[in-house]
A and B are shown apart, each in its own frame.
Chain A
Amino acid sequence: MNERNEHIYGVACTFRKPADVFHAAEKVRDAGWTRWDVHTPFPIHGLDQAMGLPRSKVPRLTLLGGVTGFITGCLLTWYMNSYDYPLIVGGKPYWSAIYPFPVLYECTILFAAFGTFFGQFILNRLPHHHHPLFELPNFARVSDDTFMVVLEAHDPKFHVDDSRNFLQSLGGQEITVIRD
């Protein structure tokens, strides 16, 4: 029986313990899968390496945000207090990096936080309310106490029956095919 792949999102199987899913993840990684994920109620320490995930790209967006924030702060204070309406207050210069430093500092942090916050959601493709996984009856338990490995149909190695058997060999329980 060979089901047609275009109606299938992937194959999922559950695990009961962090250690089990951790070792399963290492085996999936070593088998050369690229389109797959491990769903866990909490981040498991070391699972990124066990899955062979690269370092997250969020820090780049944080840096981008921080640099933007600092420049924005400089331009803001320079334009307002030195260019558009120059004022002498307390004998200080029209513009220097010293007197508005708290403003530059706060702008840097604010924009870096925006970069981090929105960067995280952009990289995670969120919000994303309709997903085949949400149709899976036992997926609701993943946010509670169940661990789940999902092999996606987009992976070149994917074949329904083989993938099922592979997950079985990893010690997974409740193996289910996810329809798209």
Chain B
Amino acid sequence: MAHAHDSSSERPAILDKVRPAELPRPKLILNDRGFHWITDKVCGIVEEPTPLWWKVLFGVALFIASFTGLGLFYLVSTGTGTWGLRSPVGWGWAIVNFVFWVGIGHAGTLISAILCLLRQKWRTSINRAAEAMTIFAVMCAGIFPLFHVGRVWFGWWLLPLPNQNGIWPQFRSPLEWDVFAVSTYFTVSTLFWYMGMVPDLGAIRDRAKTWWRKAFYSVLALGWRSGNRQWSNFEMAYLLLAGLSTPLVLSVHTIVSFDFAVSNVPGWHTTIFPPYFVAGAIFSGFAMVLTLMLPLRAIYRLHDVINQYHIDNMCKIILATGTMVGYAYATEFFIAAYSGNVYEKFAFINRAFGQYSWAYWIMVSCNVITPQFFWFKKVRENHSLVWIICIFVNVGMWFERFVITCTSLANDYLPSSWGYYSPTIVDIFTFFGTFGFFSVLFLLFIRFLPLLPMAEIKMVAPQADPHAH
């Protein structure tokens, strides 16, 4: 160490003789699968005759989705009183479900955009399905605020369009910001998803045997010819959309949290909300990705392209974000105690020990304790257990939104105006049905569109390197 100060000028001779060892990198594609195998595998999913399990699940999903239809029909024909909303809790399950579904969507954008910018090659196997999940989750989310406006036929008043009263939307309101954030998020996610899919749609088109199949995929593929002059623009556009989606996804849940944080309600009016909501969104979204991908991987035998390395990474992200969420819960308590504000202090004591304490402890055990199992490799390798933990996370994150929304509203400043919120059967039907609605869309996606991004998986295969020997 004596020569440390002038090490740059005196290069040890040994450095010219040794060759640095190659870093052992985990394989993204197992069993040395070639390009043709990948094409066959992914196109095969779309080309095979519709499997029985798909038909059964599709029927079940349609049946469950009809609950949302029923719930909404009853709501619109009878009135918003059929939901459990009454003073003081004006935001019940509808807002809880909205935040829950939007949050689910965030992992899709994280995988497709942020991990792309960070050059995480393992994202390629899961990004298409995760992006589809994002879009369908946002569609489920959109139902709730739209019907929460009460007279749904006036929902278009949220848009900056002239109406017969000559009044415009009011841009000082976080709810109006949310309209812009969520609709932009949906639009940009759809563009990104579709653009990334065009080359793969071209691959399915090129293999199509029947006339209708050829026509269907030709229209969707827009005549993509996979020339490098096209790839050059495509790659640039893909990178730019990833760059645009990154601030977008962070802003969306930030703005969703503004719906709460901009108000003056104790427990909501905190600056921790934006980062805390974003971490929670990514946490729940990754849990949903694993909930969906683990069964798909087993059904379609995708073990070579979605291997333990991918599952490990996702589990670790869930562990990290789950711990962040736990840290945020603790910070909220500390800040409430430190603030010296009696209402703020009460809001948090009430959350943990008040009338909704059952929900609070479900939330803490699902979100803070269950992901801690992912510290253990044995747990991450047991995929049934991973799946169960992910279900717990999904449940926990729904309860987090329930706790935030309902505890603060039910017990705010004046004890004389306190109340207790319970959902009605209409609330329950509407929410339950959205899982069916989501599944219907996701099953259609599996059946008709490329589930895995073929071109991107081929790109990260070792034989894709033009300098490999």
Contact = CB atoms under 8 A, between A and B. Distances in A.
B170 A89 contact: yes
Contacts of A139: 206
A19 B255 CA distance: 48
A117 B170 CA distance: 30
B160 to A, nearest CB: 6
B458 A42 contact: yes
Contacts of B170: 81, 87, 89
A149 B251 CA distance: 44
B172 A90 contact: yes
Given A40-B231, A42-B464, A102-B258, A59 B171 contact: no
B177 A42 contact: no
Contact of B237 (A22, A92, A105, A119): A119
A84 interface: yes
B240 interface: yes
A117 B160 CA distance: 24
Interface in B431-469: 454-456, 458-459, 463-469
Contacts of A131: 223, 225
Interface in B217-244: 218, 222-237, 240-241, 244
B224 A126 contact: yes
B171 to A, nearest CB: 4
Interface string A135-151: 00001111111000010
A100 B171 contact: yes
A116 B240 contact: yes
Q: Dominant SS at the A interface?
A: helix
B466 A19 contact: yes
Contact of B223 (A117, A127, A142): A127
B2 to A, nearest CB: 43
Interface in B85-137: none
Contacts of A51: 228
Contacts of B180: 102-103, 106-107
Contacts of A76: 160
Interface in A63-121: 76-77, 80-81, 84-85, 87, 89-90, 92, 99-100, 102-103, 105-107, 109-110, 112-114, 116-117, 119-121
A130 B192 CA distance: 25
Nearest to B241: A116
Instruction: Report, as a range, how many residues of chain B touch the other chain.
Output: 35 or more
B371 interface: no
Nearest to B206: A140
Interface residues of A, number: 73
A111 B294 CA distance: 36
Contacts of A142: 206, 226
B230 A124 contact: yes
A150 B227 CA distance: 9
A157 interface: no
A18 B466 CA distance: 5
Interface string B158-178: 001000001111111110110
Interface stretch (B33-41, B309-317, B329-337, B340-348): B33-41
Closest 7 CB pairs between A and B?
A80-B168, A120-B237, A22-B466, A145-B35, A56-B236, A143-B203, A127-B222
17 contacts: A39-B225, A42-B458, A48-B228, A51-B228, A56-B233, A85-B167, A85-B168, A103-B171, A103-B176, A107-B180, A110-B187, A113-B188, A113-B244, A121-B222, A124-B229, A143-B199, A150-B227
